[in-house]
Structure 1
Amino acid sequence: MLYPENSTEKLGFTEVKELIKAHCLSSMGQQMVDKIQVMNNYEQIRKFLSQASEFKSILQNDAALPINHFFDIKTLANKARIEGAFLSEEEFFQIQASLSTVFAVIGYFNEREGQYPNLEALFEHLPIEKAILKKIDQIIDNKGKIRPNASRDLLEITSGIAKAEQDARRKIDQIFKSATGNGWTADGTLTVRDGRLCIPLLAENKRKLKGFIHDESATGQTVYMEPEEVFSLNNRIRDLEFERRREIIKILTQLTDELRPYVPLLLSYHGLLTKLDFVRAKALFAIDIEAEMPGVVSEAKIRLINARHPLLFLSFKKEQKIVVPLNMQIDEGVRIITVSGPNAGGKSVCMKTVGLLQMMVQAGLLIPADANSTVGVFKQMFVDIGDDQSIESDLSTYSAHLSKMKHFVENASGKTLILIDEFGTGTDPQFGGPIAEAVLEALNQKKVKGMVTTHYSNLKIFSSNTEGIENASMLFDNVQMKPLYQLDIGKPGSSYAFEIAQKIGLPQNVLNLAKNKISSGQKKVDTLLVDLEREKKEIYDNKVKLDTQQRRVNNLLAENEKLKSYLEENQKALIREAKQQAKEIITNANKLVENTIAEIKSNQADKEKTRNLREKLNRELQRNTVKAEPVPKPAANDEELKAGDWVKLTDSDTTGQVIEIAKDNVIIAIGDLRTVAKRKRVQKISRKDVPKDIRRSFSSTTNDMAGFNPEIDVRGMRGEDALQAIERLMDRAIMMGFGNLKIIHGKGDGILRKLIRNYFKKYDQVSRMEDEHQDRGGDGITYVYFR
């Protein structure tokens, strides 16, 4: 399927496997990683990808899988299979620990039945035989040692050893104390020689005690003696220990015999643990490279969105640099992409990214690309990258290339992916170009799909005029003379040979001489390509500026609509309140007049009484008469305004408080809303001229708005704490009428970013989310826009 055999090294797939192996917990998992191969079975590829995706979801979003111990059960089971053989205490402990892990894992998935179907399939129909574990637990403790009561004989022997050791210790302590009292011992305490506890005696006193001398000091002045009484006790202990060892072997042999019928099941458990270790390592590597599971189809096609080379991504991550994402598509419409552009512009990396990600998907590995990407299945992958000249085979560089081209043309089909770097190089361009063009035409006729890189103009022209082949170029900033590493499909690219040579410092007379040696037609083509790239970059920059301006306009329109709604609502409320007050005043006035007339009549028009009633009526009339407020003089244009001052709009009675002054504009808080007015449209008023109820409503809201910042930095926070902080900020922003939030969460492994964005998706108030511009933080910052 792969040609040549070293394609995996050429594209970096071997390095990817080594990085996955580093995540394995066992040698069995590492062996499975070594066996990873590029497959072409669609169902198998999809199954392996789904397993890795489900395990990645567990690692990021669920409780930790109880995987604590991985031992080579297969080797132990094969040993137990042999009649007469027995497993050691340590080996039984390894089986015990591994089985505990197996049963815990199965229990974990049983609690989440149906949630991870592809991982559950790993142990489908696998019985849980806890009788094995029970048998081992009766003999081996949780520290891997045989239990003292594993058998009645072992318990008696163990007790006998303990008693004999106590007697021996007590006896030697008595003798040592007596010898010390008689002055026979040397300085020091009881010591061990040849595994026996001995008394240090002065050499001249060695015949005063009966016993066995095990050693003497370097000077010969001290001997180390085991007393005769203790010697016999220690021999008894040694005999009991031999008996204990024989009893342990008998118990382990019996336990191994009981385990032997379960050997096939143990091998099945071994397979489950190995597969779990393998899939776990793939999932951890996917998290390292921020990989996702793309859409997988059985057709031979590729559509990559925001794809990144995994090895380059990890390298740049250490240096805190960002990989420029790749977007490309190969299908029946565009089968072959011919990539051109400057040297060191990223052509080879672009092509290797496509090849490596295709290999990874067909090997069941998640890839660092958007989940909306689509990857098909190719039956063959032909690669021609680098110099494969061979002294042994008498092949030059160009001969090696031609040998590969021969294989490509003879064996390729519509299900073949070809990757050819520097197509046609290695010989005289006058002949290499036409040969490369002929090979490309032959491959195109066979409906082959793939990507080639070249500097040859004839291949660029052929690609632009041939159905099924599309030109593409790596963008280059010809103002700053540096590559942008962005693939632009649809037109060829210039090699910028003269521009790069000039930047490096090649003498101008040499450059002029070189320019005079190329044909005028070629010169025009290259100049046209350079001009096209310059114009396209200018258009792109203008588009970015227009998008930014359009966002600002949309925000301002939204704020104006909110302000208009607020004013209309307040106007209606004031009119309703005024009408209600007028109605109450008229009702009270009518009652007062009627009462006054009644009292005058009842007092038969007494002059004094009538005068008092008339004065009371006048007082009530004055109390309910609205006095015309003096119109304040407009504030002088040079009157100084500052944040916190109270102002009134000159063309209305609207009162607000200044939040900020920006040149000729004044930003004013009116209730929970903000507005912007020209400096000449506002006049400063004193605080006492502002009604108390308005001051009270403004006292908290305005201060909050003046000090409110619609931006938050949650880097380093735990996920739950970050969401709580963001929720509080969002509540205040919506209440105060802010149109968007800026959330700085950093890049890292992307876990916090994904958590935050999933959180906002559940709110209807959120209209959309966007990344910051690449130059100002990229996907490490999220802008959230409200409806």
Structure 2
Amino acid sequence: MKGFDQQTLHDLEFNQIREWLAAFSIGATAQNRLENLAPNNDFDTIEFELLRLNEFKRIRVEGESFPALDFEELLAEIKLLPIHNAVLQQEGFVRITRASELVNHMLHFFDKRSQDFPNLFALLNNVYFTRELIEAIEKVFDRRGQIKDDASAELYAIRQQIAKLRNQINRNFDKEMRRYLKEGLLGDTKEAFINERRVLTVQSSHKRKIGGMVVGSSKTGSLTFIEPAINIPLNNELEMSLDDERKEIFRILRELTREIAHHLPLIEAYQELLTEFDFINAKTKLALDLNANLPGIVRNTRIELIDAFHPILWKTNKALGKVTLPQSLVLDATSRMLVISGPNAGGKSITLKTIGLLQIMLQAGLLIPVHENSKFCFFQQVLTDIGDNQSIENELSTYSYRLKRMKFFLKVSNRRTLLLLDEFGTGSDPELGGALAEVFFEELYKRKSYGVITTHYANIKLKADRLPNAVNGCMLFNTETLEPLYRFSMGQPGSSFTFEVAQMNGIPLDLIEQAKGKLDQNRVKMDHLLNELNREKMYLQRLNKEHIEAQELANHAREEFIEKKQRIDERLRNQQELAEKNNLFINSGKKMKSFIDRYQTRTRKKDANKPLMEDVRKYLMVEKSKIEEAKRKVELMKAEAKPQKPVAKKRKTQKPEEDTYQRDKIVVGSTVKMIETKQNGTVEEIKGHMLTVTFGFMRLKVEREKLMWIK
């Protein structure tokens, strides 16, 4: 089976998706393709189209400056250009210019983005950047699409002559009109245009007083239209000049068409490229409209829906202001046949249709409204049996139709088939139909097909529970309010809630009890058990949800606490550093205050403050040495952190290591000894390897190597 089953597309309402797509198209070519869009089972082609579409969606979502797809198709031009002596219309040249400019903009866009959007970039293989077409057309046409006066020397001369004639005709006409207006011979409108010529509107009673040619009259006959005699030869000359202009324009356009025809392969590539982008752009607009994503594509047969929406239901509910609940489920090798049960109007069919419609949309190269972490494979065929398809023309009942469909399914189904069977087995006697449905179910299971089946039959639910690669699922029902929740739950069958729904719709309780009495008690107990299981499952789900929410709240509070503690610790460290700095400033201030207090100003002794100044100098030297020592420690720590270079062998003339160590200890304020003279002094300043040392009343600059540290 090569193509997809048309009944499947009808059952899943794929035509609605096509209509939405066609409305987003620009040209007729893309529109026609979208109106006839169908799923494909060429897996490599589908995957390539999806990747390309997802790249274009990224461009739109990320706000990239992609050029606007403003173009008209070039089908008429492509048809005419190969014909000898054919002439394109003026509008055709305008369309070619716009197409060439648009493609040039697209090439510029992808110039530095070819690695970001490789699949889209591949579409540009047959086009290239050129301005030859544009420049050739711009020599003839202006920006408004009109032929320029200087398109040729002959055209320029003709148009000059036309302008001169029109000016003369207008001057003559205005002069004649003023003269006859004074004489009261003209009607209220004074003038009119007939056959593109200015004519006088003359009262018919005065028409013989006007020199000229009568060209018509009003409907009532009260007015006569006369062309002034003085303008008749000029208008005839103008007509001939206009004819000359038309011939020259035709010649110019024919020459331009011949020149453009050399670029026919490029123009055909323009048409193909722009219509392909129109096709992709329409798909992208639908994806943005549906909040659609590209799920993970897997080669093994597996469907994993996460937060999936039925697109038609979602749009309908959105327009009505209703909330649509997403669905999540898994079909894989261990659960390839899913049997969904539950109450009527609980959402079984819409869950089945969601799976089917999303699958065929994906295989038609469309993004789908699911979470991007969802996973999909590709099927060779998707087959459906949904709804009442009885045919009066073919005299088919619903059940006969379903049997014919089942015969078809048994013929074509394989491990790459997805079956969607709604209300499986209905349409006949419940017991007989249920038995036949069970046989069909087993046969489809043996063929290793994948399927989603909705049913009320207990034997089908039981069979799904017994088969290792089948699984039950149910639509949840609120047993307290007796209302469907429209949420799918996988792993257990669901009750049909027949009596509960009947009670909800106002059926008297005594009638419901009578009905229960007519049933096999085991059947009643089973239905009651399913109700209890459903209630307990909902309770456990509520507890689990509350536990998850509480855990998330606790984790959030813990993260807030850690973040707050880090901020407080940082603030505390900053305050401690500030306090240490302030203490240092306070102690220094106190010391300087004591020096100020000791300073004598009311004494005549010349050296009264000398001891004080000596103490100040020593204090400053000591403080300075502390700062220098701190800096030196930091530098040593940095040096130790760097990788050490291999140490060269010491020469015999080198100083002992002890002397080097002693010299390294020298700082400002240190007491040192001159090695040669044995004099002791105090270091006042250090600049590189030169030190300023005070020896008694002498200050000398001495090299560090000539000094020995004392203390």
What is the TM-score when the length of structure 2 is the normalising length? 0.79
Q: CA deviation at 1:366?
A: 0.5
Q: CA deviation at 1:577?
A: 9.2
Q: Give the alignment of 1:463-474 within 5 angstroms.
A: 463-474=464-475
Structure-2 residue corresponding to 1:517: 518
Structure-1 residue corresponding to 2:396: 395
Structure-1 residue corresponding to 2:503: 502
Letter in 2 for 1:134: E
Q: Deviations over 1:677-712 (max 9, x none)?
A: xxxxxxxxxxxxxxxxxxxxxxxxxxxxxxxxxxxx
Q: CA deviation at 1:125?
A: 4.1
Cα separation, 2, equivalents of 1:193 and 1:588: 108
SS of residue matched to 2:403:
helix
SS of residue matched to 2:186:
coil
Structure-2 residue corresponding to 1:40: 41
**Is residue 17 from structure 1 mapped to residue 18 from structure 2 by the alignment?**
yes
Cα separation, 2, equivalents of 1:461 and 1:387: 26
Cα separation, 2, equivalents of 1:430 and 1:424: 10
- Cα RMSD over matched residues? 2.9
Structure-2 residue corresponding to 1:168: 169
Cα separation, 2, equivalents of 1:567 and 1:60: 41
Cα separation, 2, equivalents of 1:214 and 1:354: 75
Q: Deviations over 1:126-150 (max 9, x none)?
A: 3334322222221222222222221
Cα separation, 2, equivalents of 1:82 and 1:246: 20
Cα separation, 1, equivalents of 2:584 and 2:140: 96
Structure-2 residue corresponding to 1:115: 116
SS of residue matched to 1:274:
helix
Structure-2 residue corresponding to 1:725: none
Q: Give the alignment of 1:38-437 within 5 angstroms.
A: 38-437=39-438
Letter in 2 for 1:355: G
Whether contact under 8 Å (2:461, 2:472) holds in the other structure is yes
Whether contact under 8 Å (1:74, 1:266) holds in the other structure is no
C-alpha change, 1:253 and 1:347, in structure 2 (3 Å) is same
Give the aligned length. Answer: 598
Q: Give the alignment of 1:732-751 within 5 angstroms.
A: none
Q: Deviations over 1:197-241 (max 9, x none)?
A: 112333343223320112334554432211111111111111111
Cα separation, 2, equivalents of 1:584 and 1:297: 71
Cα separation, 1, equivalents of 2:585 and 2:67: 75
Cα separation, 1, equivalents of 2:291 and 2:70: 27
**Is residue 532 from structure 1 mapped to residue 533 from structure 2 by the alignment?**
yes
Cα separation, 2, equivalents of 1:580 and 1:262: 81
**Percent of aligned positions with the same letter in both sequences?**
33
Whether contact under 8 Å (1:294, 1:374) holds in the other structure is yes
C-alpha change, 1:111 and 1:237, in structure 2 (3 Å) is farther
C-alpha change, 1:216 and 1:575, in structure 2 (3 Å) is closer
Q: Deviations over 1:24-51 (max 9, x none)?
A: 1111110121342211222211110011
Q: Deviations over 1:384-435 (max 9, x none)?
A: 1112222333322111111111121222111111111100000001111111
Whether contact under 8 Å (2:107, 2:128) holds in the other structure is no
Structure-2 residue corresponding to 1:622: none
C-alpha change, 1:438 and 1:169, in structure 2 (3 Å) is same
Q: Deviations over 1:521-566 (max 9, x none)?
A: 1111111111111111111222222333334444444555667777
C-alpha change, 1:530 and 1:84, in structure 2 (3 Å) is same
Q: Give the alignment of 1:583-602 within 5 angstroms.
A: none
Cα separation, 1, equivalents of 2:311 and 2:367: 10
Cα separation, 1, equivalents of 2:596 and 2:244: 123
C-alpha change, 1:562 and 1:447, in structure 2 (3 Å) is closer
Letter in 2 for 1:175: E
Cα separation, 1, equivalents of 2:28 and 2:449: 40
C-alpha change, 1:477 and 1:165, in structure 2 (3 Å) is same
Whether contact under 8 Å (1:77, 1:263) holds in the other structure is yes
Letter in 1 for 2:545: V
C-alpha change, 1:164 and 1:451, in structure 2 (3 Å) is same
Q: CA deviation at 1:166?
A: 0.5
Cα separation, 1, equivalents of 2:424 and 2:199: 85
Cα separation, 2, equivalents of 1:158 and 1:113: 49
C-alpha change, 1:507 and 1:129, in structure 2 (3 Å) is same
Q: Deviations over 1:481-539 (max 9, x none)?
A: 21111111100001111000000001222211111111111111111111111111111
Whether contact under 8 Å (2:342, 2:475) holds in the other structure is yes
C-alpha change, 1:573 and 1:509, in structure 2 (3 Å) is same
Structure-2 residue corresponding to 1:605: none
Q: Which has the larger radius of gyration?
A: 2
Cα separation, 2, equivalents of 1:594 and 1:155: 103
Whether contact under 8 Å (1:420, 1:453) holds in the other structure is yes
User: Structure 1: which 5+ residue stretches go unaligned?
Assistant: 597-787
Structure 1 moving runs of 4+ over 6 Å: 562-596
C-alpha change, 1:587 and 1:516, in structure 2 (3 Å) is same
Whether contact under 8 Å (2:495, 2:530) holds in the other structure is yes
Q: CA deviation at 1:283?
A: 0.6
C-alpha change, 1:117 and 1:516, in structure 2 (3 Å) is same
Q: Deviations over 1:265-313 (max 9, x none)?
A: 2112100011000000101100000011111123332111111111111
Structure-1 residue corresponding to 2:604: none
Cα separation, 1, equivalents of 2:21 and 2:107: 24
C-alpha change, 1:464 and 1:112, in structure 2 (3 Å) is same
What is the TM-score when the length of structure 1 is the normalising length? 0.71
C-alpha change, 1:163 and 1:303, in structure 2 (3 Å) is same
SS of residue matched to 1:408:
helix
Whether contact under 8 Å (1:389, 1:400) holds in the other structure is yes
Letter in 1 for 2:402: H
Cα separation, 1, equivalents of 2:223 and 2:408: 86
C-alpha change, 1:514 and 1:159, in structure 2 (3 Å) is same
Whether contact under 8 Å (1:3, 1:383) holds in the other structure is no
C-alpha change, 1:264 and 1:375, in structure 2 (3 Å) is same
Cα separation, 2, equivalents of 1:158 and 1:514: 98
Cα separation, 2, equivalents of 1:254 and 1:586: 98
Structure-2 residue corresponding to 1:701: none
SS of residue matched to 2:6:
coil
SS of residue matched to 2:263:
helix
Q: Deviations over 1:155-202 (max 9, x none)?
A: 111111111010011011112222223343334433223432112333
C-alpha change, 1:593 and 1:283, in structure 2 (3 Å) is closer
Whether contact under 8 Å (2:307, 2:370) holds in the other structure is yes
Cα separation, 1, equivalents of 2:252 and 2:581: 99
Q: CA deviation at 1:585?
A: 10
Cα separation, 2, equivalents of 1:90 and 1:212: 38
Cα separation, 2, equivalents of 1:573 and 1:239: 96
Whether contact under 8 Å (1:67, 1:105) holds in the other structure is no
Cα separation, 1, equivalents of 2:507 and 2:9: 39
Q: CA deviation at 1:80?
A: 2.1
C-alpha change, 1:582 and 1:311, in structure 2 (3 Å) is closer
Whether contact under 8 Å (1:306, 1:325) holds in the other structure is yes
Letter in 2 for 1:56: K
Letter in 2 for 1:191: A
SS of residue matched to 2:151:
coil
